[in-house]
Structure 1
Amino acid sequence: MNCFVGVDVGTTNVKALAMPADLSQILAHASAPLTTLNPEPGYAEQDPAEIWAAFVQVIAEVSRELAVNGHTITHVAFCTAMHSVVPMNADGSSIGNAILWSDNRAEAQAKALRTTQAELGKAIYTQTGTPLHPMIPLCKLAWMREHDPRTLRRTARFGSIKEFLWYKLTGEFEIDFSIATATGLFDESKREWSNQAMDFAGVRADQLSAPVPTTYQRSYQTRPETAGTGLLSGVSLVIGASDGCLANLGAGAIKAGTATLTIGTSGAIRQTVRKPLRDAEVRLFCYYLDEGYYVVGGPTNNGGNVLEWVTEKLTQQDTDAVLAEAETIAPGSNGLLFLPYLQGERAPLWDASVRGAYLHVDWQHTRAHFVRSALEGVLFNLLSINELLTDKTGPARVIHANGGFAQSDFWVQMLADMAGIPVRLNASNESGSMGAILLTLKATGVVKTLDEAAERVAFGKTFQPDLTRFKQYQTDFKRWEAALRKL
């Protein structure tokens, strides 16, 4: 049986999923962990060699499993995290570590585009659809120009993690429109690099990759340095899109009125629209998925990392025990509020220096209250982003939930109760890999549109809101928003 493989390169793992073109079953699956390095406060990096090794490992595992069962890989498509920067030599080898989306070293450069150079910042946002924050390569490169000019001069090419992997496999420096729109350097309407943005960043167009559509394909040819993947010459490589955009597609959230809420290490809430949108206050992103499909929304730095903090630092219990403890407390945590800004924030504040807080702490509050309030704070923050989104797209009638948090029925039910609308899970929680496979269906002509591709998504459980809890949470949300305004 011929099959498609979707590869999802995230912050914590590289994963691969293999399915036939009819998506009738998962034929193989593999995962390998990644290590994030924090050499200085506010820094977040990964070793490109480790990322490549993890990619080779998962592709090789999937290839072996498929071969044993008589299946053949015909296409491999890529879903990768956004906003990374890898400095590379002309031969595609890395000069240093990959700087990740969560790296905040470029805070001053982002602030300048919001204050002293606000006119330029607004013009760049209008061109690119990327909010101005230390996460974006535009600001990371500007930081490098000011603080590490030697690396800037030595670097022949600046690319993302996807571009690093793509060059390893193809020998070409190419970037899909989706990842490009997340750099802050790409003029989306012209489909070319922005001169204004490049001037601010201190880079030239010949140091950046050639932009191509998300359905773009190249034929893989085996070379000694890539033989460990197990891929055969002639396999079609589909360049794919960003993780946020493909999470929407993989969740089947393509039509109006359908939102996707993802909580992994970080989180986001998004909707798919048919034409680019811009927010006058530069608070929402708008990224390219495919021709006539754009994903608009807002990301948060603080998602599953808050649960990790609660388990490792606050309670020193395992995750299941922490969630069970939170479930013993009534909605609203007896008035305790949590602002979940443990690692700065993107939407809705776009302030890398902000930090979290518990508010209205009372003698009656126990550790379990603090745990539940932390989980509620993460969702309140995402729903505050959703309010900004609703002003642009109209209200959502259903939320498709994915990411690590979707493995907790308790936390997903909390979301349904807070939002007051149904929350639906996919049959598979691997929405990024699934989205890459669905995009492959479009690239190969199996389907004509992404709407048609999304109709093939299988769903699991749907969580209906408890209206009594919804009313309680509406009151709590107003209190939480008032606290946020004071912040």
Structure 2
Amino acid sequence: MDCLLGLDLGTTNIKVLAVTPDTWEIIAQSSIPLPTLSPQPGYMEQDPEVVWKGVEEALTEVSIHVRRKKHTINRVCVSGAMHSLLAVDKHGKPLMNALLWSDNRAEEKAAELHAQSASLGRGIYEHTGTPIHPMIPLCKLAWFKEQQPELLQQTAKFISLKEYVWWKMTGQYQVDYSIATATGLFDVKSRSWYQPALDFAGVKASQLSDLKETTYTVPYEPGEEIKIGLPAGVKLTIGASDGCLANLGAGCIGPGITTITIGTSGAVRRTVNEPLRDPHGRLFCYYLDERADGDSGAKKPYYVFGGPTNNGANVLQWVAEKLTQQETEDVVKQAERIALGADGLLFLPYLHGERAPLWDASARGAYLNVDYQHTRAHFIRAALEGVMFNLLSIEEMVTKQTGPAKEIYANGGFAKSDSWVQMMADIFGVPVRLNESNESTAMGAILLASDTESPLERLADEVLFGETFKPDAERHKAYQQVYKRWKEAVNLVE
């Protein structure tokens, strides 16, 4: 029996999921952790060879399990984390470690596009849908142009870690439209590299990969040095970015549905059919796919619109490890004993700078209204609420462009805590529906490749769900008052 593989190139793990397309049963999976290097403050890197070895190990492990169960791998589709940047020479040899999304060394170049070159920054956002921030390759390249111009001259290609893995597997420098939209260099409307952005970055289009649709597929041809356990002829589908595929894998395709993922960081996302823009440049709009509409037959594009936060479950981890020196499960139980609103205590959860809603890498967290009555449990409760309020502020920006949410599809590590999920339902005021599997990104890759013709709405119908948490009307009303005070403290732009 045939099976499909989703290869998820994450920042913290390489994951592979094998699924049978008739029952959607997971028959094998693997997860290989990846180390992150921080040679100095603000620098976040990964060794591309370590990433590739993780891919080899994960694919080989799953391939062995698939063969033992008498299945045959038909296709592999690739998901990749966004915003990484790697320079390679003409032989494909890395000239540096890959910079990750969390690398902030280009903070001054992002600030330049917000200030001295603000009109250029606005134009780049309008054309690309990528908010201006140190994380994006556009700003990183501009930093190299200024700080290490010799690197630009030595580099044959500037690519992401996903493109590096794809080159290892296919021998081709190719990038899908979805990863490309996250670079700040790609014009969504013309589907080509955007020259004003290239000029600011100091690179030529010839130094970037060839652009491809997310369903672009080639047969696998094993090389002598490539040991990934796949037989010759397996279809390799280039896939999309992790955030976009997470939306598909969560089943979030129709109107009125928001996906919220809270892992280490978090994201609020909607799937839309036009390239939307936030008037203040705070929300991303990344390309997912284009399919024939089921009714008219006309081409119908799919974009993922929303905002990412740097501060998700890592805030809970900080509270547990640094503030209380306790296990996270015990910390959450303490928060449950405190009334909503934490008796006036507010927390601004910006421990790692912030992307949406602030897009300020220098932002920092704070407790406000601290008084003598507040206990350790109050500080925990306020921290958990602060994460949710920040996500709600992003959701409010999204709904201004897309309309109110009727339901939230939620996934990520936070979903293991019933009380935190219920807090989300009460704060947002809509039902929160959990995905059965937390591997929504790899599942999204599998769904994308399982049928390259049907509308994504039909593919989303295959997604399985677990428990639904309904909001309490009285608690929601009370939270609205607390949220108003929190929002005033953050001083968010309307």
Distance 1:252 1:483 in 2: 35
Partner amino acid for 1:397? K
Q: 1:349 aligns with which of 346, 353, 358?
A: 358
CA deviation vs aligned residue, 1:387-408 (integer Å, no higher than 9, x gap): 1111100000000001111222
By how many angstroms is 1:218 displaced? 1.2
In structure 1, the partner of 2:296 is none
| Cα deviation digits, residues 392-436 of structure 1 (max 9, x gap) | 000000000011112221211110010010001111110000100
Q: CA deviation at 1:486?
A: 8.0
1-structure distance, mates of 2:22, 2:340 = 42
Deviation readout 1:141-184 (Å, 9 max, x if unpaired): 00111112222221111011100100000000000000000000
Corresponding residue SS for 2:274:
coil
2:67 is paired with a residue whose SS is: helix
Structure 1 CA distance, aligned partners of 2:315 and 2:90? 40
Deviations 1:245-304 (A, max 9, x none): 111100000001000001112111010111111122111110000011001001111112
Moved more, 327-336 or 418-427: 327-336
1:369-448 matches, cutoff 5 A? 369-443=378-452, 445=453, 448=454
Q: What residue is the counterpart of 1:171 in the other structure? A: 171
Name the aligned partner's letter for residue 464 of structure 2.
A
Pair 1:317-2:326 in alignment: yes
Aligned residue for 1:17, secondary structure, equals: strand
1:483 match: 489
2:238 aligned residue: 239
Q: Counterpart of 1:235 in structure 2: which amino acid?
A: V
Unaligned runs of 5+ in 2: 291-300
Aligned 1:77-226 pairs, distance under 5 A? 77-226=77-226
- Please say if 1:277 is aligned against 2:276: yes
1:474: Cα distance to partner? 0.6
Match of 2:466 in 1: 460
SS of match in other structure, 1:225: coil
Secondary structure of the corresponding residue to residue 77 of structure 2: strand
Q: Structure 1 residue 50: deviation in Å?
A: 1.2
TM-score (norm 2): 0.96
User: 1: distance between equivalents of 2:86 and 2:321?
Assistant: 31
Residue 42 of structure 1 is matched in structure 2 by 42
- Asked if residue 330 in structure 1 is aligned to residue 329 in structure 2, the reply is no
Amino acid at match of 1:242: S
Contact 1:82 1:182 in 2 (8 A): yes
Question: Structure 1-normalised TM-score?
Answer: 0.97
Deviations 1:91-132 (A, max 9, x none): 222111110111111111111111110111111111100000
Name the CA distance, whole Å, in 1 between partners of 2:451 and 2:285.
21
Write the distance in 2 (CA, Å) between the matches of 1:421 and 1:4.
Answer: 34
Offset, 1:331? 1.4
Report if aligned partners of 1:241, 1:289 keep a CA contact under 8 Å in 2. yes
Task: Report the identity percentage.
Answer: 59
Offset at 1:442? 2.6
Q: Which runs of 5+ in 1 are unaligned?
A: none
Match of 1:262 in 2: 261
SS of the aligned residue for 1:27 comes to strand
Equivalenced residues, count: 483
For residues 390 and 466 of structure 2, the distance between their equivalents in structure 1, rounded to whole angstroms, comes to 26
Partner of 1:365: 374
For residues 87 and 121 of structure 2, what CA distance do their matches in structure 1 show? 24
Tell me the amino acid that sits aligned with residue 267 of structure 2.
A
SS in 2 for 1:308: helix
CA drift of 1:23 comes to 4.1
Match of 1:62 in 2: 62
Find out whether 1:471 has 2:483 as its counterpart: no
Distance 2:397 2:23 in 1: 35
CA distance in 2, matches of 1:123, 1:311: 43
User: Helix, strand or coil: the match of 2:423?
Assistant: helix
Preserved contact between residue 416 and residue 465 of structure 1 (Cα < 8 Å): yes
Q: Which amino acid aligns with 1:388?
A: M
CA contact (8 A) 1:215 1:442 kept: no
- CA deviation after TM superposition for structure 1 residue 313, in Å: 1.2
What is the RMSD computed on CA atoms of the aligned residues?
1.1
What letter is aligned with 1:197? A
Query: 2: distance between equivalents of 1:220 and 1:454?
Result: 27
Amino acid at match of 1:124: I
Q: Secondary structure at the match of 2:410?
A: strand
Indicate if the aligned counterparts of 1:269 and 1:297 stay in contact, CA closer than 8 A.
yes
Cα displacement (A) at 1:79: 1.1
Shift of 1:484: 0.4
State the alpha-carbon separation in 2 of the partners of residues 303 and 366 from structure 1: 22
**2:24 maps to what in 1?**
24
Aligned residue identity for 1:353: S
- Distance in 2 of aligned mates of 1:113 and 1:346: 16
* Cα-to-partner distance string for 1:305-337 (whole Å, 9 max, x where unaligned): 112211221112222122222222221111111
Q: Distance in 2 between matches of 1:54 and 1:308?
A: 26
- For 1:327 and 1:48, locate their aligned partners in 2 and report how far apart those are by CA, in whole Å: 43
Deviation at 1:206? 0.7
| Matching residue's letter, 2:183 | T
In the aligned structure 2, how far is the partner of 1:49 from the partner of 1:410? 41
State the partner residue of 1:253.
252
2:313 pairs with 1:307: no
Could you tell me which residue of structure 1 aligns to residue 297 of structure 2?
A: none
CA distance in 2, matches of 1:206, 1:45: 25
Letter in 2 for 1:485: N
